[in-house]
Structure formats: C-alpha cells, structure tokens
Amino acid sequence: MSPITYPSNQGNLYFFNFSPWRMMQIEPFFYAPNNQKFICKSLDEALDKGLESQSNIFIYGIIEFPEVEAYAKENSMTIYRIEDAFIRSVALGSGFAKPYSMGIDSRGIYFDPRKPSDLEYLLENHDFSNELLERAKKVRAEVVASKFSKYNHLEHSEIEIDRARYDKVILVIGQVEDDMSIKFGAFGLNNSDLLQMVKERNPKAYIIYKPHPDVLSGNRKGSIAKEIIESCTNEVQTMISIDSCIAVSDEVHTLTSGAGFDALIRGKKVYTYGMPFYAGWGLTTDYRRCERRTAVRSLDELVAATLILFPRYISPKTGEFCEVEQTLRELKEEQKRYFSDRFYRYRVNFKGYILPRGRKLIRAILKPFRLKI
C-alpha cells in the first residue's frame, strides 16, 4: 500500500487560531517532507513570514479572520478549517488527550449547517461503490463491537429499567453549552430546552439524561438547573459509557451531538432538534430541515463518508498516517490498557485533570501581558 499523502500539506502552511500546545497535539496531521509550518495571529504576521498565493491556510474551528479570508479569496486560495473527527481518543480532548482523527475541511466545517462542508458534499454527491460500502459495513461492525464513540474512557455497564411502567426509554444527550455546534447548529436551543421538549412530547417515557463528559470533568460549561433535571428526567447517567446508555434506549434525542451518529450506527431511532451532519439524509427524525440536503442515504453510505472518506487518521502507536481500520485496532488496544492497568489510567486521568487547570492558571497570570498560550 502506498504511503498516504495530502496535497494541502505541501509547501508552507500557515495556521490561525492555533496555540503552541494545540500545534503540538495535531502537528502529525500536517506532515509532509520538507514543509514549513507557521503559527500566525494576523494576516500581517503571516505576510511577514512569507505567506503567498502558493501557501496553504488552516484555521482551527469556526472563528473568522476577515483579512485572511479576503486575502485568500483575492488570490484564489483554499482555506482549510480543522476540527476533531468522530473516533477521537480514549480520554477527553479538553484533558489534552491527543486526537487520532481530524476533519480538514476545504468548504466549511461539518458542525455548521449555514453552508456546505466537505462531509455534506460527500453525502450529497459521492457515488459510493459496492467495495466501499462493504468496507463501511465492516468498519461499522467493528465500532459497534468495540463499543467505540468519540471518547472512550468510561466503563461499560448494563442499565436496568422496569420497562413495564413506561412506554419507551429515551436517552437525551447533553452537550457543551458554548460549543460551536450548539451556537451554529442548534438554532438557539440549549440542553434545558431539549430536555423540556422531550418530556413534553413523551410524558410516559423513561428519560435518561447523559451530560457531556467535558462538562462532567469540569473543563467546559453545560450544567442544567436542578429543578429541570428533577422534572424532566428519571435518571442521570454520568459514570458509564455512551454505548451503555444507547444500548438500553429505544430512542435517542439530541440537538447536534455526535452521539446521535453513534446511536444511528447501533440501529437506534434518532431525533434531532438542531441540524447535525447526519441529519437530513432520511435516517433521522428531524425537527428542522436543510434544503441543500436532498440525497437519501443508507446507513453504510453515511458511515463510508463519515468514518472512511472524510477524516484523516493517524496511528496511535506511530503517529503516522493510516486508514481507519488501523486506528480502530490500536485504539482498542489502548482502551484495553486504560481499563486494565490502573496506574496507566490514573496517569491519563491525572493529566486530564491537572493540565487544563494549569493552563487556565497560567493564562490568568499572563493575561495582563496579552500573551496567548
């Protein structure tokens, strides 16, 4: 098999909305022999460092750089936006765990439904071969068998419910309050709105609420008022995996969470109240519509686009480019070690606890000097 290469990694690469720690985490995704990487805060800084029409521009997330975007348009340059993909790591990204997959998008960004993304373009236009769909079927089977999701640090455990008392079991997925997918894809709704809407429409259901792991860790915002939790849920699950929560559920309701995709590939009914990347293709029950999304896709087509064609993967062991199948194999080995080796688990968890708090402290100390770390 020939080495995996990406044309966008060639030459001089200019990175915006990047701090040194972020660059260290994801630099392997931009490897090419002899390329040069520059972290910049402004167009002027990039020009001083040699930015020209043959260079490549990368922006982390959805933040806007109007001068940079205008320069790119004037010079017919592509801007690539970067975000974590869907099989990320064992531990949390907010806890400084390195990602093993990334979305590098030349059109937009997959969680922003205001305009097309590369992932949406694939789902709308790609001609999926039988060979690719067979591969997707195997990838989906491996993800489900290994109980993988975006993060994989919580133990699996069976949830027991007295189903005779309820007409169905619904899992409601919590998200990070200030997450960009909420800001741009949830159309003003938040976690509290979602819970209340689900309860109002399903008064006889057993409702499980699963807060986002980044919120539970204390690294991000997204808590819900106690009175809403008490009036709208039967159970809040914090310490077991999303796979275990999905397994016991008949339906999964979400704003824009990637856990809805996890539920789909596990054969569950999924209801969306925002516009996540997997909505609008005939596989989910959607509260909203996206007029651009006209194709009707099968589950294997969704998996092929989302887990095979769209992301870049690196090997957890070597940090080199690889295909999704290799990342899944090695991630499974890492997860097994995480659960079986308590000293390794303690080290990973301690890092995830101390590094974000240390970073906040250092930022607070350096804030008067207007330094970004």
Q: What is the pLDDT of residues 43-99, one digit of tens each?
A: 999 999 999 999 999 999 999 999 999 999 999 999 999 999 998 877 555 445 789
Structurally, the chain folds into a number of domains equal to 1
In tens, the pLDDT along 295-321 reads 999 999 999 999 999 999 999 999 999
| Structural domain includes residue 64 | no
CB 140 within 8 A of CB 299: yes
Q: Give the pLDDT confidence score for residue 221 in this predicted structure.
A: 55
CB 104 within 8 A of CB 29: yes
| Structural domain includes residue 60 | no
3-state secondary structure 61-106: CCCCCHHHHHHHHHCCCCEEEEEECCCCECCCHHHCCCCCEEEEEC
Ranked by mean pLDDT, which of 19-23, 217-221, 326-330, 368-372 comes out on top? 326-330
Residue 16 has pLDDT above 50, yes or no: yes
Mean pLDDT of 205-227: 74
State what percent of residues in the chain have pLDDT above 70.
86
Mean pLDDT of 258-268: 96
Which domain, by its residues, includes 282?
154-297
| Structural domain includes residue 104 | no
| Structural domain includes residue 173 | yes
Residue 373 has pLDDT above 50, yes or no: no
Q: Give the pLDDT confidence score for residue 95 in this predicted structure.
A: 47
Q: What is the mean pLDDT of the chain?
A: 88
| Structural domain includes residue 83 | no
In tens, the pLDDT along 334-349 reads 888 777 767 766 666 6
CA distances from 67 to 71, 114, 239, 372 (A): 6, 21, 45, 20
Mean pLDDT of 11-30: 92
Q: Among 287, 290, 114, which Cα is nearest to 194's? A: 287
| Structural domain includes residue 167 | yes
Residue that the structure tokens 């996206």 belong to: 290
Q: Give the pLDDT confidence score for residue 368 in this predicted structure.
A: 65
Judged by average pLDDT, the poorest of 37-46, 179-188, 275-284, 362-371 is 362-371
Alpha helices (H) along the chain: 20-26, 43-48, 66-74, 118-125, 130-146, 180-185, 191-201, 213-216, 226-232, 242-248, 259-265, 299-303, 324-340, 342-366
Q: Give the pLDDT confidence score for residue 1 in this predicted structure.
A: 47
> What's the rounded Cα separation, in Å, for the pair 49 and 38?
8
More confident: 361 or 143: 143
Q: Give the pLDDT confidence score for residue 178 in this predicted structure.
A: 74
| Structural domain includes residue 12 | no
In tens, the pLDDT along 140-183 reads 999 999 998 877 677 888 999 999 999 999 999 998 877 888 88
**Could you tell me the CATH number of the domain that includes residue 292?**
3.40.50
Q: Give the pLDDT confidence score for residue 335 in this predicted structure.
A: 82
Residue 372 has pLDDT above 60, yes or no: no
In the three-class reduction of DSSP (H, G, I as helix; E, B as strand; rest coil), residue 327 is classed as: helix
User: Would you place residue 22 in the very low, low, confident or very high pLDDT band (cuts 50, 70, 90)?
Assistant: confident
Q: Give the pLDDT confidence score for residue 350 in this predicted structure.
A: 60
In tens, the pLDDT along 28-48 reads 999 999 999 999 999 999 999
User: Would you place residue 366 in the very low, low, confident or very high pLDDT band (cuts 50, 70, 90)?
Assistant: low
| Structural domain includes residue 314 | no
In the three-class reduction of DSSP (H, G, I as helix; E, B as strand; rest coil), residue 132 is classed as: helix
CB 112 within 8 A of CB 180: yes
